[in-house]
Chains A and B, each alone.
Chain A
């Protein structure tokens, strides 16, 4: 069974060619670390997002590996150079068949 959740992207919709733009990507996820126990002493299994990727017009420009040390609702802020108008696609892949994706358009002048 595949899971998904809400995600959000914040980045400028327009940019000058060659400008550095900042992208904030956040996904709704508990990021269960696998180090916690219930009151009964049972260990809670690990359930986290493992990989985040960002592609700009189908070219991968950024990738990050997440481990249990990343907090709940993982937020990542990174930069890229605005090269051309097009679509940025964001993808999160995690445990237990978790998959989420989001898109954002940018107009480069």
Chain B
């Protein structure tokens, strides 16, 4: 009687340990780490219409550490010759941690010369920001940058 009780407790402790390991594993699994927030996902789907997006060609530059999220200088450039039959049509920028992820869309043409846009944006939180470019042949390319925001925009009182 006494023996079975100790075994039970031992098993119980082991079980707890296993659950703990599984829980930690779920938190750190690459699926959850790399999953985009749902709203950003739907915003991206709206842009692409479900078309596949390839990585590369798009370079997004934001400061890695931002003190004030109200004005963040953001530069996005796309590797493209910008000729009449090979150019960037649209550049979209999506911040997955913002209440409204879609930040801006810039429409370019071969007359732009380069695909290089700089603007100032608001970031609500430390997050990953995506840039998605659509070429004139309809293909989508993406790039991203991570940033740490210490004072967030959007939510402050007046």
Contact = CB atoms under 8 A, between A and B. Distances in A.
Contacts of B109: 61-62
B12 interface: no
A62 B154 contact: no
B125 to A, nearest CB: 12
Contacts of B108: 62, 78
Contact of A71 (B71, B117, B118, B158): B71
A6 interface: no
A61 B108 CA distance: 7
B116 interface: yes
B114 to A, nearest CB: 5
Interface residues of B, number: 34
A62 B95 CA distance: 23
B103 A67 contact: yes
B120 A78 contact: no
Contacts of A83: 111
A39 B114 CA distance: 45
Interface of A: 20-21, 33, 35-39, 44, 56, 59, 61-81, 83
28 contacts: A36-B157, A39-B157, A59-B111, A61-B109, A62-B106, A62-B107, A62-B108, A63-B107, A64-B107, A65-B106, A66-B104, A67-B104, A68-B99, A69-B95, A69-B104, A70-B119, A71-B121, A71-B122, A71-B153, A72-B71, A73-B120, A74-B120, A75-B118, A77-B117, A78-B116, A79-B113, A79-B116, A81-B112
